A and B are shown apart, each in its own frame.
Chain A
């Protein structure tokens, strides 16, 4: 715990560690690095066919183009042609005989300039015999096109519950895909060194995987591949597994030519080739009592995985883990399947299946509330988790410290929910062409990688004799402020001013075997590892101080290192530089490797039972919209949200994460529409046609009120909680708000609106037309 008597950066606002470099243009992303001498650039030749057999691939003419140095195909790969995540071995780096989606890489042209590569690419002969392609999730279901894994979480007696029900609901919810639209597109650069070893700069959330996959591809030991990750211009899950492809291609290029190589996707290529958020198609059946209690929920859900497995299984699990929302459901069956389609392989995206689960249950509860004629907030409060036996989740784990009820009480009051709802209903009575709606959303989001093995992290903390500090850890900085938090933790733990703490690029030769920076776990895992390393060092420093000052064993624990000073009872503070000097002089180690593994978790996916999460992150949101009944356009008028981040390591960073995640979630459900052609090509492959929120989408600051839950000390490092993904789900409040407004356009308040997501103006106008039909 932080002692208020001493200065420390912990729990204080701080600017992003790279902010000054950001605003001066000095922050280098991989594609900003000066090209090394002789560096080649590249162009990927991608399949123009959604599914087919390669019958001819002739690169000889391309090699004659001036400036083209090599054209690599699967035949040039010396090792294993695979870039799949999680050991599924179903994803080739370069397609050898069969292509499975438009945009799948078939060959890599390497040349002196992009112009030369493009000219070369035009001379490559690629002939493909088309095969039947599955492009739609319903088609995949009809044809039973599934990956083999089939996960079910169930409890209670569904039949009995449905028999006992006062009313039941049936329906389906389709949640949309979403392009990550990180500002910095995929990029990697590789060079071959004197030991036949490879150095790769990669924009990746998972440098270790780039390392492992590149080593496997080239048939060399992992120790011979070093991956450096300076920073990413956004990741959001899109560079968790899918950056590896480009790291591997760069490595292959340098291996085959002996020259450094850079692989970079322009925006259109990035959007067309890389995977996105999984769209989910869910069918549900729900049973309720007339008092509003839910008795049972039976959901069959299908994730549209695209052509390769990637992380789809874990994503499906996270959907099943979050189909309960914040509600105790006595009898349930959550049945998840992975549909295989001939689209780019869908991948991690902030929320990781969670939002796709939430939206189903929230839709069901909205319908039940309408059926009963009660407020949607009331039915939620009624069904919240509570005291035993209402505290057991679908996978058998016990829910502790459930903060949602008190957060709900708080926000309903501060957001004046009931009053505003009455005002809105009165407004809607008197306005023909404009309708308003209000929505509330509670979020309970499980924290930990659902694959238990990944919940470990390492760090290497180096203290130099002048009292400056360098931190290495396994996490990757993508803008989320991870490094800034690591500085706060290390500066606090070591008692060194944050200005003296330098955060190093993420490198696989400093911290080995790191997990991806994902699952919101970056700070929890790496922060705990940094903390562990710092504790080792300060334990040694305490003994050094004791020796030099002459303290007894008991007094050692009263030593406080803070703000470049060592404080001890009965003595003047000693400069840390002095303490460190003593340590060096005494030949005491001034560096430490830290390590952390999350305790107490474990999950059996076959049984659907266990403790998949270390704890839960909570949030609540109230938002208001206003729509035009003539055009279906709508505006987000007001957002209020409270999020539980424990004792925030750096509150300014967490607030930024909440605001950004909310905006992304709002984009997912409103303006971001992926449109695919009948041939399986992405029609919306640039920002001209794929629309993420702008500053005009988000309300003015006075109407965008985000706060952190006070007095919220929690279980992760220094009392904090994870933050990356959970607030994305806050935007699901839009479902209730839009439904509220759309119902008001018709005459029957009990009639369920049907909204196709994302709710573009067209989708809303269709819903209004249906409401009035």
Chain B
């Protein structure tokens, strides 16, 4: 298959002769003249370009709101997409359009198409029950005019209320597509359907850029340009999206969508579930995955500290076989991993946490929603019956050149001591010995050092009663202290 096949607003398209680095946003606007979808930032930080993907990659089908600026043409292969132009015909009013009108939720109207599509997804979701979910659903759509109050009224009104023809469309059988091998000038994009094909391609094309969710690669493509000419896209490999619970662990597929991982881990693996609530934005979480976050190796990655502190395993596969690594053995240095050129990261094994262990994740940023952390961390502590610390793993993001960096001296200090406020306070003073963070536009070194220590103190207090705390609605901080 050498043409990209997709459906947009129920019309069939076969794409060829266009650069694969073209985003869906620009394809819609410049090629199809569907200019309802807007460009606000071209990096997934504003949501003006939000469109809907029908996801039928397993489980019950659902609509997903995604940022079209971060989706590239090869990723459309086999997909059904709806844009603002496709949700109503003539004078017919879709539920979300009616809702926006009745709450006066559009002013300048530039964010409105994107807002509409996030609302559209909400209309067909049936799992929105808790108040935080309404915030999470819409936090990826920036609006500079309304102050958001009417948008909140809309999402509360439409959530789960979609009962129209789009319900039928959701359950229309998916048309399978063959593996895509798309070429344009000196670009080659391979979009396989199976892991086996992907591994074969990887083994023979070690310089190919692997794209899992594409939300990180996409920003670089948009703002800097293509750094590779061969791309291996993992988005159509269903087996990599799977998640399952085993007796002693959770197994998360490399490209399981973060939004799904968040829901799956809510009660099963709270330190991850909680950090994902404050991770990027809803639309990003509908395509981004843990593999991308971890392989990108960004020092401010929020998932790495969770993996490092909970001693989770990464599963790497090549035609030679599978190997499982602890996170620390995976990350070698600044944006450097121990992955072999022919390997793919295929999944994660998260150990079931002992209910007596204390464990929580935190994230500090200028803005709680949709921001990159200035400091994030996960703490894990086991104690014996006398409250003496028998195991301590404190892993940080934003504090060192690598993500998930361990505070070794601090850990060593507390190990063997009684887990009490005095000792924790003294331990927190050691953080300054462990890390020498940088100052940048997110935070100063002083602030990073202060909060890194204070979060440990806060962790002590927060886990006094609930050892693996979940989230609260609208906390002042991811550190949820009520005392």
- CB-based nearest B residue for A663: B147
Kindly provide the distance from the CB of A229 to the nearest chain B CB, expressed in whole angstroms: 13
Most chain B CB inside 10 Å of its own CB: which residue of A232, A233, A627: A233
Residue contact B454 to A695, C-beta cutoff 8 Å = no
Flag if A434 contacts B476 (CB, 8 Å).
Answer: yes
Query: Which B residues are CB-close (under 8 A) to A27?
Result: 109, 112
B35 within 8 A of A: yes
Whole-angstrom CA separation of A766 from B449 in the bound complex: 12
Residue of B nearest to A22 (CB): B109
Write the nearest CB–CB distance from B432 to chain A, whole angstroms: 15
Is A247 an interface residue when CB atoms closer than 8 A count as contact? no
B238 within 8 A of A: no
Is the CB–CB distance between A694 and B139 below 8 Å? Answer: yes
Interface of chain B residues 281 through 309 with chain A (CB within 8 A):
none
- Pair B223/A183 contact, Cβ less than 8 Å: no
Q: How far is the CA of A632 from the CA of B152 in the complex (A)?
A: 26
Of B101, B144, B442, B477, which contacts A631 at CB under 8 A? B477
Q: How far is the CA of A730 from the CA of B258 in the complex (A)?
A: 38
Q: Which of A135-143, A476-484, A614-622 contacts B (4 or more CB under 8 A)?
A: A476-484
Q: B130-152 interface mask toward A, CB cutoff 8 Å, 1 = contact, 0 = none?
A: 01000100110111111111111
> Could you tell me if A183 and B451 are in contact, using CB atoms closer than 8 angstroms?
no
Interface centre among A266, A660, A664, by most chain B C-beta atoms within 10 angstroms, is A660
The reply to whether A234 and B223 contact each other, CB–CB distance below 8 Å, is no
Whether B85 and A630, one on each chain, are in contact in the complex, defined by CB atoms closer than 8 angstroms, is no
| Residue B36 lies at the interface, judged by CB distance under 8 Å to chain A | yes
**Which of A28, A268, A631, A634 lies at the interface centre, i.e. has the most chain B CB atoms within 10 A of its CB?**
A631
Contact of A694 among B107, B367, B443 (CB under 8 A): B367
The answer to whether the Cβ of B420 comes within 8 Å of any Cβ in the partner chain is no
| CB <8 Å contact, A479 and B108 | yes
**Interchain CB contact (< 8 A) of B146 among A656, A686, A687:** A656
Does A420 count as interface, using CB distance less than 8 angstroms?
no
* Contact partner, A628, options B371, B444, B477, Cβ 8 Å: B477
Contact B42 A267 (CB under 8 A): yes
CB neighbours (8 Å) of A234 from chain B are 108, 110, 144-145
CA distance A363 to B251 in the complex (A): 55
Check B45–A686 contact: CB distance below 8 A: yes
Q: Which of A20, A479, A633, A687 contacts B364 (CB 8 A)?
A: A633
Closest beta carbon of chain A to B34's beta carbon, Å: 7
Question: For A696, what are the chain B residues with a Cβ–Cβ distance below 8 Å?
Answer: 135, 139, 367-369, 474
A284 adjacent to chain B (CB < 8 Å): no
Contact with A along B471-483 (1 / 0, CB 8 A): 0001111010111
Size bin of chain B's contact surface: 35 or more
What distance in Å separates the Cβ of A22 from its nearest Cβ neighbour in chain B?
3
| Residue of B41, B116, B365, B483 with most chain A CB atoms under a 10 A cut-off | B41
A182 in contact with B455 (CB, 8 Å): no
Residues of B362-383 whose CB lies within 8 A of A: 364-372, 374
**Chain B: minimal CB distance from A281 (Å):** 21
Which residues of the partner chain A approach B334 to less than 8 Å between Cβ atoms? none
What's the Cα separation between A25 and B32 when bound, in Å? 14
Contact in complex: A695, B479 (CB < 8 Å): no
Instruction: A32 to B110: give the CA distance in the assembly, Å.
Output: 11
Interface pair B476/A481, CB less than 8 Å apart: no
Residue-wise, chain A 543-586 has the 8 Å CB interface mask toward B (1 for contact) of: 00000000000000000000000000000000000000000000
Q: Say yes or no: A479 contacts B107, CB within 8 Å.
A: yes
With A19-B106, A652-B104 in contact, is A694–B370 under 8 Å at CB? Answer: yes
Question: A32 contacts B372, CB within 8 Å?
Answer: no
Q: Which of B109, B111, B139, B477 contacts A231 (CB 8 A)?
A: B109
Q: Tell me whether A505 is interfacial, beta carbon within 8 Å.
A: no
Residues of A within 8 A of B455 (CB): 630-631
Cβ–Cβ contact B369 & A635, under 8 A: no
Does A15 lie at the interface of the complex (its beta carbon under 8 Å from any beta carbon of B)? Answer: yes
**Contacting residue for B475 out of A635, A691, A700, CB 8 A:** A635
8 Å CB contact of A659 from B138, B146, B223: B146
Whether A183 contacts B46 by the Cβ 8 Å rule is yes
| CA of A32 to CA of B40, assembled, Å | 13
Name the distance in Å between A629's Cβ and chain B's nearest Cβ.
Answer: 8
Residues in B with CB closer than 8 Å to A634 are 476
| Segment 398-417 of A: residues with Cβ below 8 Å from B | none
- Whether A15 lies near B101 (C-beta < 8 A) is yes
Residue A127 CB within 8 A of the other chain: no
Inter-subunit contact A694/B84 (CB<8 Å): no
A734 and B332 alpha carbons, distance in the complex (Å): 45
Q: Is the CB of A23 within 8 A of B148?
A: no
B112 / chain A contacts, CB cutoff of 8 Å: 22-23, 27
The docked-state distance in angstroms from the alpha carbon of A695 to that of B442 is 21
C-alpha gap A25/B461 in the complex (Å): 50
Instruction: Please state if A695 and B100 are interface contacts (CB–CB under 8 Å).
Output: no
Compute how far the CA of A660 lies from the CA of B108 in the bound complex, rounded to whole angstroms.
11
Stretch from A321-329, A380-388, A509-517, A757-765 forming part of the interface with B = A757-765
B37 interface contact, C-beta 8 A = yes
Give the distance to chain B from A518, nearest Cβ to Cβ, in Å.
15
B337 to chain A, nearest CB (A): 23
Interface centre among B39, B106, B146, B149 (most CB of A within 10 A): B149
Smallest Cβ distance from A568 to chain B, in angstroms?
Answer: 36
A167 to chain B, nearest CB (A): 34
Cβ of A165 < 8 Å from any Cβ of B? no
Instruction: State which of B37, B102, B150 has its C-beta within 8 Å of the C-beta of A25.
Output: B37
Q: Is B43 an interface residue (CB 8 A)?
A: yes
Most buried by A among B96, B144, B440: B144
> A630 and B458: CB pair below 8 A?
yes
Residues facing B in A672-698 (CB within 8 A) are 673, 675, 683-684, 686-689, 691-698
CA distance A371 to B52 in the complex (A): 57
**Across the interface, do A631 and B479 meet the contact criterion of CB distance under 8 Å?**
yes
Query: Is A433 close to B, CB under 8 A?
Result: yes
- CB-CB nearest in chain B for A677: B441
In the bound complex, CA of A231 to CA of B139 (Å): 26
A184 touches B367 (CB 8 A): no
The 8 Å CB contact of A683, one of B83, B131, B441, is B441
Q: Quick check: is B344 within 8 A (CB to CB) of the other chain?
A: no
Residues of A within 8 A of B41 (CB): 267, 686-687
- Among A432, A655, A664, A671, which residue has its beta carbon within 8 angstroms of that of B367? A671
Q: In the bound complex, what is the Cα–Cα distance between A688 and B366 (angstroms)?
A: 11
B contact residues vs A (CB 8 Å cutoff): 29, 33-43, 45-46, 48, 83-85, 88, 96-97, 100-102, 104, 106-113, 116, 131, 135, 138-139, 141-153, 219, 223, 364-372, 374, 440-444, 447, 450-451, 454-455, 457-458, 461, 474-477, 479, 481-483
Known A675-B441, A688-B43; 20 more pairs at CB < 8 Å = A19-B109, A231-B109, A234-B144, A267-B43, A267-B46, A433-B481, A479-B109, A479-B145, A627-B476, A631-B451, A631-B477, A631-B479, A673-B441, A693-B148, A698-B149, A699-B474, A701-B152, A704-B147, A761-B364, A761-B366
Q: Would you list 23 pairs from A and B whose C-beta atoms are within 8 A, ordered by A residue?
A: A15-B101, A15-B102, A19-B109, A23-B96, A23-B112, A24-B97, A25-B113, A26-B36, A231-B109, A233-B38, A431-B482, A479-B107, A628-B481, A630-B451, A635-B474, A659-B149, A660-B145, A688-B45, A693-B148, A694-B370, A695-B143, A701-B149, A761-B451
A contact residues vs B (CB 8 Å cutoff):
13, 15-16, 18-29, 31-32, 34, 180-184, 231-234, 236, 266-268, 431-434, 478-481, 626-628, 630-635, 652-653, 655-656, 659-664, 671, 673, 675, 683-684, 686-689, 691-701, 704, 706, 760-762, 765-766, 769
